[in-house]
């Protein structure tokens, strides 16, 4: 069974079948349907290598994501694939696991699959020009920036929220409700990542509100996991730490905070308010529902994909887009 | 920068570097470390295509998973990759999205990457011999079986829990605690998947316990989503359905059930017990913690990988392994 058999069966040209299989836009809906039906009936499986031989330039882009935080990334991947597919590109998704370097994984993927570009979902905030030398395709950092690195702005693109501002707004949501003793929960304060940036925002909010910073209110779990956060918050309560609210730097960690407080017989929000960041679907199913600053998941994906396509197709230099979070009020915060 | 430069730099042969890059076991730890260090320092990125040319037989296997239920599958993927890597195989992971056929995706992946075998994580329970004709490599169904299909037992492998028995045990856990009015929550009772099988087990448990089956206690959400389940359970309460416990066919759905009950001012477990299946990490962070029948995630992955390797390397016929769930008691169930 070859592509020629499919073409003969449908009474169309091989190149039409090829355009349908490659998801190109210039085929009418009726023809597209006929071809896809025949492909299914004839049990024809497109052969990636043969297809590559036909079109000298690959039409594939890669998405490299860190599996640790998958619930948040799944929505972004879906939005990206939609844009890539509409532009006639196929998408290769690679899951980078704990301890593996995303640039390394991306570089290998780009070469072996002859990708035209890469979208990284999550990664280090401190790339150097030497780090990215191994990448010979344009790339976009989605959900993170090079805040602690040394890349020139036009050598890469980013689409992200403003992490410092997000930390600021999170603290303000709690300060507005009368809280002054606000604990911050994260893995490590000097993680050169979202934790460090959002803590900067938190400090600024306190300063702007005339509240003295108490370093004791910083609860570092040592690692980015629910288990470590639960232990750290339970210990803080046992140690008699005095706080009326918690800002957790992500929803996953906030859910662990709620569990720790419950284990210590503290009620949310009566005894302690809890606020997260991300806007996970799961957050709205907590009892009480978790208040969160939601990332614009679809917009991050769509914009990230469009920026990358612009670099690939038009050779545009890197661009940097900052999107806003939106406050999703829930039952987990209250006035005091 | 080529593989020869790396070999020269380390004072070893090209084939030694190749064996390290391909993760073959027959290289000493010291040499392996030296090569990997050089690869990193020299910024050398292995070229997949060139590597394929060197070794005529590919050493790659594929894992095809359905993204919808990712939290449960992540642990299985990790366990599989470990086994494949120790056996000298590289792993390609592909995420199949809603509405896409997993066999189709797997067949395309196997051809374009010249895979030696495939592991499917989640899929249809009703494959026909014609369906699998397009697969020209051995495969294992991990977490599901061909209960409603027509495959010969030796044409494929499976590693799974016994879904009927799991439904039986779940109902028994609630019956043992005095419950007689046990609602069952799933997408559709005739889904030819876990829902249908686990409901069979539930019915058997009632029968064995002398409890009459009440079809009204079957709550079908119409689709497998938290949102649909929440609406369906809230409606059941509004309609005055009388039940003292809920068996949800998965943890994700059980979490949505707990939210729906809370929205209707029903306390868990005082007014209603809730039990799930899967053993997600998230289940233990619910308030109260969700009782669940935990799937043996690591064992499913390890055994699935070993069975597939046995088919690939030794040409073994399909085999079918059934593993047990373990009961994880939580605060969400109580005696009445």
pLDDT tens digits, one per residue of B227-275: 999 999 999 999 999 999 999 999 999 999 999 999 999 999 999 999 9
Residue B103, in any domain of the structure: yes
Please report the residues numbered 69 through 108 in chain B whose beta carbons come closer than 8 angstroms to any beta carbon of chain A.
70-71, 74, 77-78, 81, 93-95, 97, 104, 107-108
CA distance linking residue A291 with residue A273, whole number of Å: 9
Q: Is A285 on the interface with B (CB under 8 A)?
A: yes
Average pLDDT for B116-141: 93
Q: Is A282 on the interface with B (CB under 8 A)?
A: yes
CA distance linking residue A73 with residue A75, whole number of Å: 6
Residue B86, in any domain of the structure: yes
**Cβ contacts of B81 on chain A, cutoff 8 Å:** 97
- Quote the radius of gyration of chain B (alpha carbons, Å): 24
CA distance linking residue A214 with residue A5, whole number of Å: 73
Q: Is B266 on the interface with A (CB under 8 A)?
A: no
Distance in Å, alpha carbon of A76 to nearest chain B alpha carbon:
13
- Shortest CA distance from A259: residue in chain B: B285
> B95 vs A93: CB contact, 8 Å cut-off?
yes
Percent helix, percent strand, percent coil in chain A, to nearest 5: 45, 15, 40
* Cβ contacts of A210 within 8 Å, gap of 6 or more: none
* Cβ contacts of B146 within 8 Å, gap of 6 or more: B125, B126, B127, B156, B158
Q: Which domain holds residue A157?
A: 47-161+299-323
Q: Please tell me whether residue B35 adopts helix, strand or coil conformation.
A: helix
Q: Which helix (DSSP H) or strand (DSSP E) does residue B197 occupy?
A: helix B194-208
**CATH number of A37's domain:** 1.10.260.40
Q: What is the dihedral of CA A279, A282, A286, A291, to 10 degrees?
A: 0
According to the model, what pLDDT value does residue A58 have? Answer: 64
- Judgement on whether residues B37 and B104 belong to the same structural domain of the protein: no
Q: Please tell me whether residue A266 adopts helix, strand or coil conformation.
A: coil
- Shortest CA distance from B69: residue in chain A: A71
Chain centre distance of CA B163: 13
Q: Which helix (DSSP H) or strand (DSSP E) does residue A327 occupy?
A: strand A326-328
| Sign of the alpha-carbon torsion through B204, B210, B214, B217 | negative
Distance in Å, alpha carbon of B49 to nearest chain A alpha carbon:
6
CA distance linking residue B114 with residue B80, whole number of Å: 19
Closest partner residue to A259 among B43, B258, B285, by Cβ? Answer: B285
- Judgement on whether residues A198 and A233 belong to the same structural domain of the protein: yes
CA distance linking residue B245 with residue B182, whole number of Å: 5
Q: Residue B73: pLDDT band by 50, 70, 90 thresholds?
A: confident
Q: Is B286 on the interface with A (CB under 8 A)?
A: yes
- Judgement on whether residues A259 and A178 belong to the same structural domain of the protein: yes
Closest listed residue to residue A333, CA positions, set A182, A226, A177: A177
Residue A336, in any domain of the structure: no
Kindly give the pairing relationship between strand A273-278 and strand A291-294. Answer: parallel
DSSP of B262-299 = HHTT--TTTT-EEEEEE--GGGGGSSSPPEEEE--HHH
Closest listed residue to residue B31, CA positions, set B2, B54, B45, B11: B11
Sheet of A60-66: strands edge to edge?
Answer: A90-96, A60-66, A118-121, A139-142, A157-161, A320-323
Low-confidence ranges of chain A (pLDDT < 70): 22-25, 43, 45-58, 67-70, 97-98
Residue A330, in any domain of the structure: no
* Domains held by chain B: number: 3
According to the model, what pLDDT value does residue B56 have? Answer: 40
Residue A54, in any domain of the structure: yes
Q: To the nearest whole number, what is the mean pLDDT of chain B?
A: 89
CA distance linking residue B116 with residue B110, whole number of Å: 7
- Judgement on whether residues A183 and A36 belong to the same structural domain of the protein: no
Please report the residues numbered 53 through 72 in chain A whose beta carbons come closer than 8 angstroms to any beta carbon of chain B.
67, 70-71
- Shortest CA distance from B331: residue in chain A: A263
Kindly give the pairing relationship between strand B118-121 and strand B139-142. Answer: parallel
Here the tokens at position A58 are: 């690959």
> B255 vs A111: CB contact, 8 Å cut-off?
no
**Interface-testing mutation among A261, A287, A290, with chain B (most B C-beta atoms within 10 A):** A287
Please report the residues numbered 209 through 238 in chain B whose beta carbons come closer than 8 angstroms to any beta carbon of chain A.
226, 230
- Judgement on whether residues A174 and A218 belong to the same structural domain of the protein: yes
What number is the ipTM of this complex? 0.80
DSSP alpha helices (H): ranges in chain A? Answer: 3-10, 14-21, 29-41, 48-54, 70-86, 102-112, 163-175, 194-208, 226-238, 251-263, 297-314
**Cβ contacts of B70 on chain A, cutoff 8 Å:** 70-71, 74
- Judgement on whether residues B170 and B140 belong to the same structural domain of the protein: no
Reported as a single tens digit per residue, the pLDDT across B26-59 is: 777 778 778 877 877 776 766 554 443 334 456 8
> B111 vs A45: CB contact, 8 Å cut-off?
yes
Closest listed residue to residue B119, CA positions, set B143, B152, B88, B85: B143
Say if CB B192 and CB B184 are below 8 A apart: no
Note the maximum CA span of chain A. 78
**Cβ contacts of A230 on chain B, cutoff 8 Å:** 285
* Cβ contacts of A264 within 8 Å, gap of 6 or more: A234, A237, A238
- Judgement on whether residues B279 and B311 belong to the same structural domain of the protein: no
Reported as a single tens digit per residue, the pLDDT across A54-81 is: 333 567 899 998 765 567 787 888 889 8
> A226 vs B71: CB contact, 8 Å cut-off?
no
- Judgement on whether residues A247 and A205 belong to the same structural domain of the protein: yes
> B258 vs A112: CB contact, 8 Å cut-off?
no
Quick one: angle between helices A163-175 and A194-208, nearest 10?
A: 40
**CATH number of A308's domain:** 3.40.50.2300
According to the model, what pLDDT value does residue A51 have? Answer: 43
Distance in Å, alpha carbon of B11 to nearest chain A alpha carbon:
24
Average pLDDT for B124-149: 93
Residue A97, in any domain of the structure: yes
Closest listed residue to residue A137, CA positions, set A154, A158, A117, A151: A117
- Shortest CA distance from B53: residue in chain A: A112
CA distance linking residue B19 with residue A111, whole number of Å: 19
Average pLDDT for B171-194: 95
- Judgement on whether residues A57 and A149 belong to the same structural domain of the protein: yes
DSSP of B91-122 = EEEEEEPTT--HHHHHHHHHHHTT-S-EEEES
Residue B335 has pLDDT above 60, yes or no: yes
Residue B335, in any domain of the structure: no
Say if CB A131 and CB A103 are below 8 A apart: yes
Q: Is B281 on the interface with A (CB under 8 A)?
A: yes
Say if CB A80 and CB A87 are below 8 A apart: no
Chain centre distance of CA B145: 12
> B285 vs A255: CB contact, 8 Å cut-off?
yes
- Shortest CA distance from A134: residue in chain B: B43
Reported as a single tens digit per residue, the pLDDT across B267-310 is: 999 999 999 999 999 999 999 999 999 999 999 999 999 999 99
Please report the residues numbered 162 through 181 in chain B whose beta carbons come closer than 8 angstroms to any beta carbon of chain A.
none
- Size of chain A, expressed as the number of residues it contains: 336
Here the tokens at position A78 are: 């879906």
Distance in Å, alpha carbon of B213 to nearest chain A alpha carbon:
30
- Shortest CA distance from A95: residue in chain B: B93
Residue B118, in any domain of the structure: yes
- Judgement on whether residues A40 and A52 belong to the same structural domain of the protein: no
Here the tokens at position A120 are: 């990284």
Say if CB A156 and CB A139 are below 8 A apart: yes
- Judgement on whether residues B135 and B170 belong to the same structural domain of the protein: no
**Cβ contacts of A256 on chain B, cutoff 8 Å:** 285
Q: How many helices (H) and strands (E) does chain B have?
A: 11, 12
Chains A & B: contacts with CB separation below 8 Å: 91
Quick one: angle between helices B70-86 and A70-86, nearest 10?
A: 90
Q: Is A204 on the interface with B (CB under 8 A)?
A: no
- Judgement on whether residues A303 and A155 belong to the same structural domain of the protein: yes
According to the model, what pLDDT value does residue B28 have? Answer: 76
Closest listed residue to residue B278, CA positions, set B213, B224, B218: B224
* Cβ contacts of A163 within 8 Å, gap of 6 or more: A145, A147, A194, A197, A198, A201
CA distance linking residue A188 with residue A278, whole number of Å: 18
Closest listed residue to residue B311, CA positions, set B138, B141, B158, B153: B138
Here the tokens at position B138 are: 């051995």
CA distance linking residue A333 with residue B261, whole number of Å: 21
> A95 vs B94: CB contact, 8 Å cut-off?
no
DSSP of B207-258 = HHTTPPP-GGGEEE-SSSSHHHHHHHHHHHHHTT---SEEEESSHHHHHHHH
Closest listed residue to residue B191, CA positions, set B183, B200, B204: B200
Q: Which of A43-47, A233-237, B84-88, B327-331 has the lowest mean pLDDT?
A: A43-47
């Amino acid at each position: 069974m070859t592509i020629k058999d499919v073409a003969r069966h449908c009474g169309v040209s091989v190149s039409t079948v090829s355009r349908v299989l490659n998801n190109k836009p210039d085929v009418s809906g009726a023809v597209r349907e006929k071809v896809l039906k025949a492909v299914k009936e004839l049990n024809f499986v497109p052969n990636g290598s043969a297809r590559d031989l036909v079109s000298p330039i690959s039409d594939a882009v890669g998405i490299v994501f860190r599996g640790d935080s998958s619930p948040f990334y799944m929505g972004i991947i879906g939005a990206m694939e939609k844009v890539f597919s509409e532009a006639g590109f196929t998408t290769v998704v690679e899951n980078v696991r704990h301890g593996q370097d995303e640039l390394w994984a991306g570089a290998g993927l780009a070469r072996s699959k002859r990708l035209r570009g890469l979208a990284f979902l999550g990664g280090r905030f401190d790339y150097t020009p030497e780090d990215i030398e191994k990448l010979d395709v344009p790339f976009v950092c989605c959900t993170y920036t090079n805040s602690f690195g040394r890349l020139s702005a036009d050598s890469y693109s980013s689409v992200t929220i403003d992490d410092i501002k997000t930390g600021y707004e999170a603290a303000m949501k709690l300060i507005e409700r009368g809280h002054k003793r606000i604990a911050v929960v994260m893995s490590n304060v000097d993680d050169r990542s979202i934790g460090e940036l959002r803590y900067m925002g938190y400090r600024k909010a306190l300063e702007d509100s005339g509240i003295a910073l108490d370093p004791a209110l910083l609860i570092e779990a040592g690692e980015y996991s629910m288990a470590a956060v639960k232990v750290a918050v339970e210990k803080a309560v046992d140690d008699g730490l005095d706080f009326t609210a918690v800002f957790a730097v992500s929803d996953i960690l906030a859910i662990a905070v709620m569990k720790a407080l419950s284990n210590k017989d503290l009620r949310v929000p009566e005894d302690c308010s809890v606020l997260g960041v991300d806007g996970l679907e799961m957050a709205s199913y907590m009892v009480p529902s978790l208040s969160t600053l939601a990332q614009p998941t679809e917009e991050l994906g769509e914009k990230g994909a469009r920026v990358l396509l612009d670099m690939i197709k038009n050779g545009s230099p890197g661009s940097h887009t900052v999107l806003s979070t939106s406050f999703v009020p829930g039952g987990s915060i209250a006035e005091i």
